[in-house]
Amino acid sequence: MVGKIEYSGSLWAMSDTMTKVADPVEGSADKGRIFIRVVRFLGWASIWLGLFLLGFVAHQLFVTTFFAQQNNVALIQEAETSFATVEITEIPYVAPDVAPGGPVLTDPDDVDLPGPVLRVEAAPAEGESFAIIRVPSLDRLVDGWAVVEGVSRRNLKNGVGHMASTPLPGQPGNVVFSGHRTTYGAPFHEFDELVPGDIIEVETALGVHAYEVRETIIVRPTEIWVTQPREGAWLTLTTCNPKFSSRERLVIFAELVAGPNFEAING
Amino acid sequence: MRIVRWFNALPGPRVVQVILAFVIFVVAFTALMFVYDWMGNNLLDSGGTIS
């Protein structure tokens, strides 16, 4: 049985019932029309795909950053307001024993001897701006970026997020902050330029806590050991790596070197 | 112009067509932003969390 390709509107159909042999000239014209339609379709598809990707890049790099910077101004004001109102308490502090699973804090009620006093602020609510991070050696963080409680996607759109399961800045243990590298203001954009010895300042209601960079490593996003408790007082900063990819994590470990609780923790 | 043909194909009088076009634009724009947000978080920058 001889078939012929028939064109009807935008649909092509193979007719099994026709017995007429296809005309070579007519078949060539049909092929030409098909070719033109395919080229036209691919052309328009490329244009729309290009516009879609252009919009995506513009949205991610500029729109999200514009709104994040607007939010950051308001969140820094919110943090500064909270500094004056947040409740601060003082508790006796005894250096923790370090167990294989991490340090164990001594119950303050069990401490009778007078010793170092640790200043502790009330825990912030989820999404609340409670601290400001500054890195004098990085242009983007010289003036500071607000730190909000929690590292959910929504929280990180507003700035740097504090992992709620870790201590607050200036407290013993391992404080963990996460932040965007390329979108939403990209507060951690230049973190690959940090070197050991650089200072990271975190201002809270207690005062300014200064951390000194000790080590920078690159890990997979699932390596949660970097967030686990550590002896002394540490700040761990995590962000995406490399830039424009979330394939890995750039992790910066910094140790407390000055601040309201430094003497109590290290003395 | 295809977009004018689409607009004229909307049902109702001119006022209703304008309102419908506006609603369709807002819905499409919101969906586009949602897609961009999802793509950005999953492909470009997830926020750097460890989990």
- CATH code of the domain covering residue A236: 2.40.260.10
What are phi and psi for residue A183, nearest 5 degrees?
-125, 175
Q: What is the C-alpha to C-alpha distance for residues B21 and B27, in angstroms, rounded to an integer?
A: 10
Per-residue confidence of chain B (51 residues) as pLDDT tens digits?
788 999 999 999 999 999 999 999 999 999 999 999 999 998 889 999 998
pLDDT tens column, A42-80: 999 999 999 999 999 999 999 999 999 999 999 999 999
State residue A96's pLDDT score. 63
Residues of B in contact with A181 (CB under 8 A): 45, 48
Contact A149, A158 (CB under 8 A): no
Residue B13 Cα, gap to closest chain A Cα (Å)? 31
Q: Which domain holds residue A258?
A: 75-266
- Mutation target to probe the A interface, by most A beta carbons within 10 A, among B42, B45, B51 is B45
Other Cβ atoms closer than 10 A to A90 = 11
Q: Give the residue, A111 or B37, on which the prediction is more confident.
A: B37
Categorize the per-residue pLDDT at A107 as very low, low, confident or very high, splitting at 50, 70 and 90: low
From B36, B44, B50, residue closest to A182, measured CB to CB = B44
Structural domain includes residue A193: yes
Rg over alpha carbons for chain A, rounded to the nearest Å, is: 30
Task: Kindly tell me the burial class for residue A137, based on how many C-beta atoms sit within 10 Å of its own C-beta (0-12, 13-18, 19 or more).
Answer: middle
B44 touching A (Cβ < 8 Å): yes
pLDDT tens column, A155-193: 999 879 999 999 999 999 999 999 999 999 999 999 999
Residue A129 has pLDDT above 90, yes or no: yes
How many domains in chain B?
A: 1
Categorize the per-residue pLDDT at A21 as very low, low, confident or very high, splitting at 50, 70 and 90: low
Structural domain includes residue A11: no
State residue A2's pLDDT score. 47
Residue A266 has pLDDT above 90, yes or no: no
Residue A11 has pLDDT above 50, yes or no: no
Q: What is the C-alpha to C-alpha distance for residues B10 and B17, in angstroms, rounded to an integer?
A: 6
How many domains in chain A?
A: 1
Structural domain includes residue B31: yes
H or E, element range at B24:
helix B14-39
Q: Which domain holds residue B28?
A: 2-35
Q: Mean pLDDT, to the nearest integer, of A209-230?
A: 96
Q: Mean pLDDT, to the nearest integer, of A211-232?
A: 96
